Structure formats: C-alpha cells, structure tokens
Amino acid sequence: MLKPLFQTGNDVSSLILRVALGVVILPHGLQKLLGMFGGYGFAGTMNHFTQNMGIPYLLALLVIVAESFGALGLILGLFTRLAALGIGCVMLGAILMVHAKIGFFMNWSGQQAGEGFEYHILALAMALALLIKGGGMLSLDRKIAGE
C-alpha cells in the first residue's frame, strides 16, 4: 500500500535535487526548531507565527516540521515525496502570505522592504520535481521499496 510513496528511479538528478533542496532548507528549519543560526527557536517561532502573523497553531507547527525534519528527510532520501510536498506547501504559503507583495526580485541592493519570491519559486519547482520523481539514487526510499 505504501510502496508508491517510496518507489523511485535510480537517477542522479533526483539525488542532486533532493540533497540541494534539503541542505538549503535545513538551516531555516534549525532556526525555527532549535534557535540555531540566529533563529528564535521553537517557542519564539510559534509565538511569531501564531500571534504576529495569525497562522493557526497546527499550520505553524507543520512549517517547522517541514523545514526541519522534511529537509533531513530529503537529504537522506527518506519519505522524499512527503517531505517535498511539505516544503512545497511552505514555499507556496511564504509566497502568498509574505513575499508576493514585495515583488519578484530578492533584495540584493537593500532597497526593498523585504525579499521577493524568486528563491521560493526555485524551491517550489525543485519540490514539485521530487514529488513527481521521488528520491532517486542513494535514497532510503529505494531501499524501503526494495529497488
């Protein structure tokens, strides 16, 4: 029953996509979960999301889980499709709730009020590709599926 979730080819492109996306997203998750890299930690992040941004508690919790445990899952190739779905949803939510009003471009010159959504589109596209293709070469998903 769960085999379609784990089934994946043995291609190197999925390996590259999942490790790159996981390595980029993981520090953001560690900021939110553990307060690393200048983050606020779990309590501070939950407070900011629920009180300041009005995000429901469960959705705020899912953001933290997706960016921390989902990123680890991508790096290991474990539950790749589920992790990619979670990260893709986080990126879409970030675009719609925060970054769309700022515009497309990142704030390279420091002149904008915040960051645009170009980074989020790249991460969303990577997540979508992984959702379709799975974890690929050297993934734990391949081992679980018996491939």
Residue 100 confidence class, pLDDT cut points 50, 70, 90 = very high
Task: Name residue, tokens 């919790």.
Answer: 61
Domain total in the chain: 1
Give φ, ψ of 133 to 5 degrees.
-90, -25
Pairwise CA distance, residues 40 & 31, whole Å:
6
Is 63 part of any domain?
no
Instruction: Say if CB 118 and CB 5 are below 8 A apart.
Output: no
Is 102 part of any domain?
yes
For residue 8 the two structure tokens come to: 């994946």
Structural domain of residue 101, as residue ranges?
77-147
Is 146 part of any domain?
yes
**Three-state secondary structure call for residue 24:** helix
Is 24 part of any domain?
no
Pairwise CA distance, residues 135 & 48, whole Å:
33
Is 147 part of any domain?
yes
Residue 108 confidence class, pLDDT cut points 50, 70, 90 = confident
In tens, the pLDDT along 16-60 reads: 999 999 999 999 999 999 999 999 999 999 999 999 999 999 999
Q: Give the sign of the dihedral formed by CA 10, CA 13, CA 18, CA 19.
A: positive
Is 15 part of any domain?
no
Pairwise CA distance, residues 131 & 117, whole Å:
21
Residue 99 confidence class, pLDDT cut points 50, 70, 90 = very high
